[in-house]
Chain A
Amino acid sequence: MAVDEGLKIELGKQGVLVTTIEELYNWGRKNSVWPMQFGLACCAIEMIATTMARYDLARFGAEVFRPSPRQADLMIISGTVTKKMAPQVVRLYNQMAEPRYVIAMGACAISGGPFKEGYNVLKGIDRYIPVDVHIPGCPPRPEALIQAFMLLQKKIDGQHLTGPDRPRFLDAEAQGEFPVPVQGEHDLEPASNPGVWTVPVVIR
Chain B
Amino acid sequence: MASNPYFSLAVLFVAALGFGLTPLALAWLWAKVFSPAKPNAVKNAIYECGLVSKGDAWMQFRSAYYLYAIIFLIFDVEAVFLLPFAVAFTGLGAAACGAMLVFVLLLIEGLAWAWAKGVLTWA
Contact = CB atoms under 8 A, between A and B. Distances in A.
A197 interface: no
B42 A94 contact: yes
Q: Which 4 A-B pairs have the closest CB atoms?
A: A176-B38, A88-B50, A172-B36, A177-B40
Interface of A: 68-70, 87-89, 91-92, 94-95, 98-99, 161-162, 169-172, 176-177, 180
Contacts of A89: 50
A64 B59 CA distance: 34
Nearest to A67: B48
B59 to A, nearest CB: 22
A161 B48 contact: no
B54 to A, nearest CB: 14
Contacts, number: 43
B48 A68 contact: yes
A35 B83 CA distance: 47
Interface of B: 34-36, 38-40, 42-43, 45, 48-52
B42 A180 contact: yes
Contacts of A87: 50
A161 B31 CA distance: 12
Nearest to A69: B48
B107 to A, nearest CB: 42
Contacts of B43: 94-95, 176-177
A147 to B, nearest CB: 28
Given A88-B51, A94-B40, A95-B45, 7 more contacts: A91-B51, A94-B42, A94-B43, A170-B35, A171-B36, A177-B38, A177-B40
B40 A176 contact: yes
Contacts of A171: 36
A176 B50 CA distance: 18
A92 B47 CA distance: 10
11 contacts: A69-B48, A70-B48, A88-B50, A89-B50, A91-B52, A95-B43, A170-B36, A172-B38, A176-B43, A177-B38, A177-B40
Contacts of B51: 88, 91
A94 B43 CA distance: 5
Contacts of A180: 42
- Which of B34, B43, B52 counts the most chain A CB atoms within 10 A? B43
B35 A98 contact: yes
A95 B35 contact: no
B50 A91 contact: yes
Contacts of B52: 91
A98 B19 CA distance: 26
Nearest to A161: B34
Contacts of A95: 42-43, 45, 48
